Structure 1
Amino acid sequence: MRIVIQRVSQAAVEIEGNVKGQVGLGLLLLAGFAADDTEEDLKWLAGKVAGLRIFSDAEGKMNLSVKDVDGDVLVISQFTLYASTKKGNRPSYINAAPPAVSVPLYERFVELMEDALGKPVQTGEFGADMKVSLLNDGPVTIVMDTKNKE
């Protein structure tokens, strides 16, 4: 699993002109899945994201997690995180899990994020044409991959 974590002041996702999910202070997560991702990968990443200390404390140091600041989370599926650009100019997405595999992984990751945060998270809609807007705070953007746990 690959994830792009963006610390935001606000973020929203629209589908066909309707707001599907939105958050204020918190995180926007763009999540991509590979066919060999496991429950353990999902649990590890949900725990890391929930505990990641990327919010500023009273002294301006990044010492607080999204849980510490009572922030919200918006999770968007993003198969293009697995784009391969090695050949030609058209990216290949062969390394991204097909929908039959990635939909359950996405739904399970959302559940695990909710468990880790102790509250619901906002989502987009898997496979929909989504318009994502955000105000990146910092900017702080972090990329994580479960294949690089160590």
Structure 2
Amino acid sequence: MDNIDRKILELLQEDGRITIIQLSKKLNLSRPSVNERLRRLQENGVIQGFTARISHEEIGKSTLVIIQIGNLKIECHRFEEIIKKEMDILECHRVTGTNSYFMKVAVASMKDVTALVDRLIPFGQLNTSVVLSSPIMYRPLLPVNDY
């Protein structure tokens, strides 16, 4: 991966709808060269897909919550299967430390938080934190320089 690949990744994360023509102009490369680099980045699994970032507030899910769960009462794989069905959970990370999982949740109201907590509490000890603000909502992910 060279500096051009890094720049492609940065530009795509800034604007996933950027055209090949726009990319080729910004990179001073031919369209076939940009296409080849994109194909290679996808085949190597660096680019896993293209998607849109959605504002949770604008779709009626204005309450963002971090839920931590520890002291699990069931096996991790069973817990993971259960939470995959909880569509309000945006992210779930299995972590080290006193808690086993950190989950990012977006819901419409505190009533929905309560309902989700009630569904999860049988599986372990919960700690919930309501997000007050998000100074960094999204940051482009770029490879280390010596990659």
Query: Does TM-score exceed 0.5, indicating one fold?
Result: no
TM-score between both structures, scaled by the size of structure 2: 0.24
Look at both structures and tell me which one has the larger radius of gyration over its CA atoms. 2
Tell me the TM-score normalized by structure 1.
0.23
